[in-house]
Amino acid sequence: MTTDFRATKALFELPEGVTYLDGNSLGPLPKAAPARMARAMTEEWGEMLITGWNKAGWMAQPATLGDRIGRLIGAPEGTTVLGDTLSIKVHQALAAALALRPERKVILTDSGNFPSDIYMAEGLIEQLGRDHELRVVAPEEVEAAIDEDVAVMMITEVDYRTGRRHDMRKLIARAHEAGALAIWDLAHSAGAVDVDVAAADTDFAVGCTYKFLNGGPGAPAFIHVAPRLIDAVRPALSGWLGHDAPFAFEPSYRPGAAIARMRVGTPPVLAMAALDSALDIWDGVEMADLRAASLALSDRFIAGVEAACPGLELATPRDHVRRGSQVSFRHPQGYAVMQALIAQGVIGDFRAPDILRFGITPLYLDETDIDRAVEVMASILRDGSWDRPEFHARAAVT
């Protein structure tokens, strides 16, 4: 292992007394981000004003940052672009894929997919009004459900609740064999596992940057399109900045060259400044090292919890090949248990109906953090302190 994870941990602002295992929901603050954002606000926005679009390179950043993310997901240069939200990127990819398979009507997904992806599919089907069907199957039934009626398979690689990881290469090969296209949501993969979209022959990939990539709350999303498809894609969301010549102000849309056509609206300059700072940390990280460290920490956490915390049921696959970079346990009162953990400075999160979810992020977690989390969990389960009224009161965000 060549990546120095002690050095990367020192680059994050981690509150004293807190063990943070929720980077699969929101990554912590990179120490360099506030200064980078301040520079964007004062030296760029403040001094350059509108000339910052050229002088500070704001207009080019979606492509520049897209390529930096591309390295982490195995995407060739010039095939990934940043901007908008993940839901927007899902809509773009799904609409484009359906247009490339007009004779087919089925969108295939699984019940472990993130609900927002399914909502976007439902809304698009209603909008198109062409008798499309959303077919939702159990995660283990996806491969068998791929047939000649499927236009596009839309899958989140790592299940947001259980951490179950799909076999991307196998499912893409089966989809292509059946003549279908594949969209992969990498929200719980980018910066978490060793993704290689090019080697897997992925058609479309989308993802967010505020989880494992540590870009900050509401950080912009990304989209990747395979080079063999991009010239055939005509974006349904034909935004101004996806035009071939935005400042020609032509009355009709012409898609931009290659991945630039997948841009939609004005890029979020301040958010991109924070993400730029976060991605600096990744320059010294090898994804193979990250994956090895993640699995070692996950194994340690699973073994510790199972030895010390009766009453919890492992929901995450033990098999390394089938596991993402999180560990989930089931408990009938999972919400209250998680609130008690948070009160003791061990931050994970809860997913209905009974999942306690913990992100395993070697960039800033080590064996000491894992052992402390196990110790605190064992303590609150042993003494029953989780069963206090304040821990059962539901907050708006769980």
Residues that are catalytic: 114, 185, 210-211, 357
Backbone angles phi, psi at 243, to 5 degrees: -70, 150
Strands (E), the chain: 12-13, 19-20, 29-30, 80-82, 106-110, 133-137, 150-156, 181-185, 204-207, 222-225, 313-314, 326-330, 346-347, 349-351, 355-359
Q: How many CA atoms lie within 13 A of 59 on its CB side?
A: 12
Q: Which two tokens stand for residue 235?
A: 């974006």
Nearest to residue 161, comparing CAs of 350, 392, 331, 23? 350
- Per-residue b or e along 282-296, where b marks 16 or more CB atoms closer than 10 Å to that residue's CB: beebebebbbbbbbe
Residues 367, 241: Cα–Cα separation, whole Å = 46
Strands (E), 186-272: 204-207, 222-225
Residues 143, 150: Cα–Cα separation, whole Å = 12
Strands (E), 94-214: 106-110, 133-137, 150-156, 181-185, 204-207
